[in-house]
Structure 1
Amino acid sequence: MRVPTDKEIEEAKEYLRQRLDAELSMRTNLQIVMIEAAKQIIDISYRYKISPELFRFSANRQLQEEVDAIILSLLEIIEDYTYTLAVATHEDNKDAIITCITRESYGKTFTQRAREYVDRFSKEVETAIAAGLLLNLSKDKLLSSIRQSVKTPLLNEHVQRAISKGYPIISRLGVQESFGVGRTVSSWTALSDLTEYAVAEGWMKHWELQAKACGAVGFFVMRGSSYPCNICDDEVGFHVEWDKLPPYHGHCKCFAVPVSAI
């Protein structure tokens, strides 16, 4: 089996760079749409005259329905961004890419996981709004704090201040301190990991199909970063099993160089 040429290695590296740009775009757009959803929910919630000490979305059926509609829309937007960036310019393999990233994995589909995480986001925003009402915050000030604490929403300065004043809003609203595989502490982290990984998988599915169409019989995996990772180290080398393509974990920067028989 021949060794990949320098040209082939550089082409694989360039493909990785483009893939990472798509992942970064996913992360950027995800934060934008989540903050916009939070703004809409804040605007709606502040219109209802619910006692701050008792505030929760379910305190008013119409409020709950409006919030649910925003969360459903958020889910649909996140799915659309993910599918669009996973396919990118590889329209010829669109169906195979979408099938790949929406498949069931470890008992759940992409949509099922995303639904869990946007529901979690709803609880995080509900908690922040409860704090905002208790502290008589402006909508803009509350939204700014949500943006700043997106990675650690329960440590939001206003949530913590409300708790320090004797209002146990986290326990009252039944918000788990951590959740999901790996016990993450924010819906942002969970959704970012989920969507960026799906985008990466979509790009690598196209890479696989394109390589096979060009007669590749396998691929050579190389590290694309220097940080210590036993998982990635174990995969370096030649493979003929196409299900062994990177990414091997979230934010994996290994790249694969297709190898032909000649």
Structure 2
Amino acid sequence: MGKKSQPSNHDNDYDAKLRLLQIELVKLQRQIISSGSRLLIILEGRDTAGKDGTIKSIVAHLSPRESHVVALSKPTEREEGEWYFQRYIAELPSSGEIVIFNRSWYNRAGVEKVMGFCTDTQYKQFIDTVNEFESLIIGSGIQLFKYYLDINKAEQAARLKSRETDPLKQWKISPIDEQAQKKWNDYSQARDVMLKKTSSKAAPWTVIDANDKKSTHLNLIRDLLSRIKYPGRDTNLLTIDSNVVMPCPPLGKKLPKLAP
């Protein structure tokens, strides 16, 4: 048998940096638990943009009792008859908890809009009310951070191809994937409208250039940690790459440069 390949210096460097940031995340969680704070993180993005891997890098060493990942499936028949936001409310963080939404109510502004899973009236009602809904959440004392992971079309094509051949990624394949490339421009347009109309002053979007997975993980965590105060925060670890982390301005202003 051949020699077992050794991890590259780049891999070692990434692992070392990620470990230090995960220690910071543990410090943050201790503060959230002790203070009874509530933290909600929304992760949206293109299909294959790396939401699952990013979430794993965040929660890897957090207490599972006080940190929860929410990835809701298709609404049931009963849920379809409810107020659109209703099923998400039950998943909001309680005292001392961190909750991460792997996709969220913004499904309505993305997949549902592009694939025709909602009516124009339902879409407009969502766009017209989501900022007010999030203001109520923030007003209740929940800290809310919204990230959109963006990749280019060629990178998405490569990742979709990888899913077809990697047995560990078979569960990720869905009929929606088949439309991701075909409806690329439609998704771009829906993304831009969503970011322009829902990046409010109280709950702005931050776009992450997610073409490099490791850079995505490190920079998103740095950005999150830099925006929350907690004891013992090591600011030397929180230098953010401005080519990766792109804050969206308040409503209606010019968006950062995104994949067309």
* TM-score range relative to shorter protein: under 0.3
Rg (Cα) greater in structure: 1
Q: What TM-score do you get using the length of structure 2 for normalisation? A: 0.27
Q: What TM-score do you get using the length of structure 1 for normalisation? A: 0.27
- The structure where strand makes up a greater share of residues is 2
